[in-house]
Structure 1
Amino acid sequence: MPIIGNIIKKAIELTDTLSDEVSPQEAQEEVLRSLLKKAKNTAFGKHYGFEEILSSDNPQKEFARRVPSHDYDKMAREWWNRVLAGEEDITWPGKPDYFALSSGTTSNSKHIPVTDDLLAAIRSTGIQQILSLSEFDLPPSFFEKQIMMLGSSTHLKEKDGHLEGEISGISASNIPFWFDIYYKPGKEISAIDDWDTRIQRIAEKARDWDIGSLSGIPAWIELMLKRVIEYHGVKNIHEIWPNLMVYTSGGVALDPYKKSLEKLLAHPLVYIDTYLASEGFLAFQSRPDTKSMKLSLENGIYFEFVPFEEKNMQDDGTVHPDAEVLTINEVEEYKNYVLLISTVSGAWRYMIGDTVQFTDKARCEIEITGRTKFFLNVVGSQLSVHQMEKAISHLNEKYTIDIKEFIVAAVQRNGEYIHHWYMGCDECSDNQEVTKTLDEFLQEHNKNYKVARSKALKGVEVTLIPSDVFYDWSEATKKKGGQVKIPRVMKEEQFLEWEEFVKSKSATF
């Protein structure tokens, strides 16, 4: 009998039952006041009059009026470069010990401050996520199993008095001592920089562990599982980890990967989605009967929402200075919003780059619908990444195939625009039928795309390539593993570089 597991499960259920519910509006008002109070004597706080904002009749509206929105470039140029240079009390009291190096889809060189307060906030939200497991009907034995956290290397680089690395590596290097018995692959293996070497060590040690859950970006989790299966010569991962029950994903949509992941399993897993970015732990799936995620409203992040409409956006994809800004109580369900966050790391009205929509306002549950700079709209098609992923899921279901990676761009052919898609599919051959179905689905589900296809968007082209080409490109241009994400939408210049890379690999497929 799993005695410890029973105790842990009952404690989680009791704690979740006793937790007090506060209104979203009250929780966010308190978070904003706390942020402003703590940062009022920083250079940023003095510049924008945090004292006066706090004493106003409506701090939320006054905050939005006085403080402009910032994307990363503006925040870094005007403030964070001073923090990076070692100055104190710039956007948050003191100076941070860590900087998260973003390896997302928009930049290779972001340095985002990670304060002790942010790490504490991430841990607090993590505890809330653990408490929510009481909703998932997991057996007591699950709570005694180990957790495979496949993030970036915990071997952080020391530079100019601070440490640098990806946020998953920074978080893992700061896990509490009591979590060591659950955390795999452990600190020694996690510190290995080279991803392939780290995965090989995981494969070698896999039989020594009793893994109950996985955590990481789907593409890299899948490659890790394949390596473990191959190394031990078994049919599926449950022959190595029979008690594997849960997969916690984050960073990218999980649905496109489920089909290929489940080929590596003896039985399906419980899938839980999270929204953990370099700037903080924003949301997590808190119940089993939804794919949406609950915003973390009480842990050091203040949220604002800009309706994702042409009037609110500038040509470079940033928020217009006069944009309409809504608080948590003013949003509506199933409308796209650009997300602005202010955090305990000294990010202020910061445009994280994602668009979201509320699927359940009462529960404060959202889903990520795309990236502000990754909407395909060169000829008015207004295609979001969310819609693209739904189209890919439709193709997978209709043709019983397995497309999980794709890249698309609007490019010119003979002076006219087309959408050119590259899709990773190891079992596909008839791209004409795939192209026709893709085009029909998008026209049916997006009226702007349908109008564009009758006017300036003259065609759709699909090129099917092996999935490994996407991962090889990621390794060649960035690196494998960790928080690295493959972009879904490219501008034409980057797309031409991608096509040259594909051509260079064409002899292998």
Structure 2
Amino acid sequence: MGLKSALSKLFAARVNRQLNYLRKNAVTLQQKNFSDIIDAAKNTAFGKDHQFAAINNYDDFKRLVPVHDYEDLRPYIDRVVNGEENVLWPGKPAYLAKTSGTTSGVKYIPISKESMPEHIKAARNALLSYIHETGKADFVDGKMIFLQGSPILAEKHGISTGRLSGIVAHHVPGYLQKNRLPSYETNCIEDWEQKVDAIVEETFNEDMRLISGIPPWCQMYFDRLSAKAGGKKINEIFPNFKLYVYGGVNYEPYRTRMEESIGFKIDSIETYPASEGFIAFQDSQKEKGLLLLVDSGIFYEFIPSDEFFNENPTRINIKDVELDKNYAIILNTSAGLWGYSLGDTIKFVSKDPYRIVVTGRIKHYISAFGEHVIGEEVEHALMSVAKQEGVDVVEFTVAPQVNPEAGQLPYHEWFIEFGSAPADLRSFALKVDEALQKKNIYYFDLIEGNILQPLVIQSLQKDAFINYMRSEGKLGGQNKVPRLSNDRKIAEGLKEYLTLK
């Protein structure tokens, strides 16, 4: 055991004591966050417009501050981007995180000097929680790689601007810098495929022990490593690789193929970071769900997902949540986002402590016929059948077909890239359809009532999703294909890659 790993165990024990306080005092800490951020922002433009000085409790807040999405907050954010101070939060932001929105084009999310350290602390504590629970710390003595965006930052009216992962790269603790790859120069490569090739060359002969990144782009990295090594598994290339860290997408649809590439069932840590704030991380290899970070300058609200689009939906805070119920998550942050709909849906799987699972996107569902099928349901239906049948799924997306050929009923059309395809695609599709009916009673009723016919699967060529993302200029980084759409834009784009046209 090296010095770093020995010291990390001592540090992990200390952090675990702090996390135990968080676990046991979530409601109190959330109330403190609420009071602190309201008080801090009462003299900002937003605070004055929404009478923060008159807010004494959560009911006051709900009465005075509506739920917003990015477009609703854009007039304030545009003032921030143009250099105005004291708009959403005191002073100017430390950074503007640049991200893409599905309807808003480029979005700029403020990160304040108060909120920035919370991103770093959460990522650190996710690793330390793993070390404390498992006793496995050897990975800190080797090399670590973080597949992320370019750290090159632009400037807008005196505010540094870039992708969140690029901003975070400037805050990696000094004690990790010597262990960290890729190099700054390689990280600055904008073209994703050139970047992956450069990372392969830079890491091939290194002692890689921890790898972090979203699954589809890590899989591309693994495929190219394996090709360079003449087909070797990743554990043959990196014999000390023991920990995979990911966030942003559900790992389960990728797990089988990733572990096949790696060569064994690897330990993993799930994180839930967003430009708007670091929300949760997996604090246990034994317990389900991610620990909600209740002391990180974020006050959370939750709206039952089936009420989200109502005129006056129910808004609750953490003390009133129920287990196994889908909620849209709403943020109020120490960077100045207020009543901000993140767009994600979550479920609580525990209230002691508060642990969540991410179930999908509030706007990524299919309800062309009133079925309101969500991401969690389609992923479970497909992956449960794929596991039973020994089928390998690389990637998939689903769209409604509301204008079928004459004489046909409408249906859900699934576009799937298989690693190993089912022997009988029609039989496989029917089993997935049955599994989906069991998960969603509205879908079951539509099938039973002959409103819909069972789903149809379109098999795609190898690398179909990579090629599609390349054609859209969205290859790499944190970009991912939505699993569900209510329109056919993605479906029509993928038709070019059908195995049988």
**TM-score, normalised relative to structure 1:** 0.92
From 245, 248, 251, the counterpart of 1:254? 251
Q: Show CA shifts across 1:27-55 (max 9, x none).
A: 101111111121111100111111111xx
- Of 461, 464, 470 in structure 2, the residue corresponding to residue 469 of structure 1 is 464
Whole-Å Cα distance in 2 between the matches of residues 357 and 389 of structure 1?
15
Q: In the alignment, does 2:185 pair up with 1:185? A: no
Q: How does 1:66-465 map to 2 (within 5 A)?
A: 66-76=64-74, 78-103=75-100, 108-309=105-306, 312-314=307-309, 320-412=310-402, 413=404, 414=406, 416-428=409-421, 430-455=424-449, 456-465=451-460
Alpha-carbon distance, 1:416 to partner: 4.5
Aligned positions, number: 494
**C-alpha contact 2:83 2:156 (8 A) present in aligned 1:** no
* CA distance in 2 between partners of 1:409 and 1:18 (Å): 45
Opposite residue 35 of structure 2, the aligned amino acid is R
Deviation of the 1:208 alpha carbon: 4.1
Q: Aligned-pair distance for 1:241?
A: 1.6
Residues 440, 18 of structure 1: alpha-carbon distance in 2 compared, 3 angstrom cutoff: closer
Q: Which residue number in structure 2 is paired with residue 2 of structure 1? A: 2
Q: Deviations over 1:409-465 (max 9, x none)?
A: 112214852111111113215321121111111112221110121232234211011
- Counterpart residue identity of residue 41, structure 2: A
Q: Report if aligned partners of 2:139, 2:243 keep a CA contact under 8 Å in 1.
A: no
Report the alpha carbon displacement of residue 89 of structure 1 after superposing the two structures with TM: 1.0
Q: Secondary structure at the match of 1:196?
A: helix
**Residues 126 and 269, structure 2, Cα contact 8 Å, conserved in 1:** no
Shift, 1:209, TM fit = 2.5
Task: Say if 1:356 and 1:185 are closer, same or farther in 2 by CA, change over 3 A.
Answer: same
Displaced runs of 4 or more, over 6 A: none
Aligned 1:23-62 pairs, distance under 5 A: 23-53=25-55, 56=56, 59-62=57-60
Q: CA offsets per residue over residues 361-392 of structure 1, 9 Å max, x none?
A: 11110001111111211212221101111112
Q: CA deviation at 1:17?
A: 3.5
Structure 1 pair 104–434 and aligned structure 2 pair: CA distance change class (3 A): farther
Q: Which moved more, 1:104-113 or 1:127-136?
A: 104-113
Quote the offset at 1:97 in angstroms. 4.2
What value does the CA root-mean-square deviation take over the aligned residues?
2.1
Displacement of 1:160 after TM fit? 4.6
Q: Which moved more, 1:453-462 or 1:253-262?
A: 453-462
Shift of 1:135: 4.2
Residue range with higher mean Cα deviation, 395-404 or 94-103: 94-103
Corresponding residue for residue 317 of structure 1: none
Deviations 1:187-216 (A, max 9, x none): 221111111111111111213422211111
Tell me the secondary structure at the aligned position of residue 276 of structure 1: strand
Contact 1:69–1:321 (CA<8 Å) still a contact in 2? no
Deviation at 1:159, TM superposition (A): 4.3
- Is residue 304–residue 340 contact of structure 1 (8 Å, CA) maintained in 2? yes
What CA distance in whole angstroms lies between the structure 1 residues aligned with 2:123 and 2:499?
A: 46
CA distance, structure 2, for counterparts of residue 147 and residue 424 of structure 1: 30
* 1:286 positional shift: 0.4
